[in-house]
Copies of this chain bind each other. A is one copy, B any other.
Amino acid sequence: MKLDTVTKTETLDLQKMIISKIRDLINIKNLEPGDKLPSERMLSEKFEVTRSNVREAIQKLEFYGLLKSIPQSGTFVANIGVTAMNGMIEDILRLEEPDFKSLVETRILLELKTARLAALRRTEQDLLKMKEALDAYTEKVLNGEDAVQEDLLFHLAIAKACGNSTMNTFMLIITPEIITNFEKYHVCDENQAQKGIQEHTEIYEAIKTQNPQLAKQKMKEHFKMLYQYCYNI
């Protein structure tokens, strides 16, 4: 287990090393948007790493929109200038693992917005999905069973109904980590689950009646205890 962590850290450091060397190369060669980088093979030789390592680093920079690989042709600097490139790579290199507080803070921000937008934009089909998730949640809680998953699915149904695919994606990204931490720290207890039924229902009704302010307000109340918990760690 310890070993696993070590090797993982090592490969991460290696990738960061390669990314920073690619950045240096772009600066030294004064490459501009659209210019071609040396081939993966050349880079791997120059940096004395395997081609796989180079590919992974390139793919990461591609994920952040800084490079663009074209099959059978080459890897190119994206349509972003050198200045922005340098700034963003610096940020990417220094990015740290998200802590629980960051996750919760971001979740609350996103969900107050998705609730509001869902009230404005939800379709009848969205409403149906939300109702299903709400019923599943209610049933579980009334049976005294753990309902963390159903809770989450209700919130994801709202994210889906908000009509903003970016926010929907972000909710999907943070959700698993939220669940894991919830279970680790036992955030929710029994009374809260009972209380959650009413709160969920109120949120659902606000979205159904297309009342954005009320939806946001009810979501805020729903997050009240979570908010306090988050700031008392």
A residues whose Cβ falls under 8 Å from a Cβ of B: 4, 64-66, 71, 78-81, 83-84, 87-88, 91-92, 95-99, 102-103, 105-106, 109-110, 113, 133, 136, 148-150, 152-153, 156, 160, 164-170, 172-177, 179-180, 183
- Please tell me if the beta carbons of B172 and A80 are within 8 angstroms of each other in the complex: no
B105 touches A166 (CB 8 A): yes
Q: Which residue in chain B gives the minimum CB-CB distance to A175?
A: B88
| Chain B residue at minimal CB-CB distance from A174 | B166
In the complex, are the beta carbons of B83 and A165 less than 8 A apart? no
Name 8 extra pairs, CB < 8 A, besides A84-B179, A102-B167.
A83-B150, A87-B156, A92-B172, A98-B169, A99-B165, A106-B166, A109-B110, A109-B113
- Which residues from chain B contact A133 at a C-beta distance below 8 Å? 87
Nearest Cβ in chain B — how far from A171, in angstroms?
Answer: 9
Contacts of A91 in B (CB 8 A): 156, 160, 168, 172
Q: Given that A65-B176, A172-B88 are contacting pairs, would A80 and B165 also be in contact in the complex, using a CB cutoff of 8 Å? A: no
Q: Which residues of B contact A65 (CB under 8 A)?
A: 175-177, 179-180
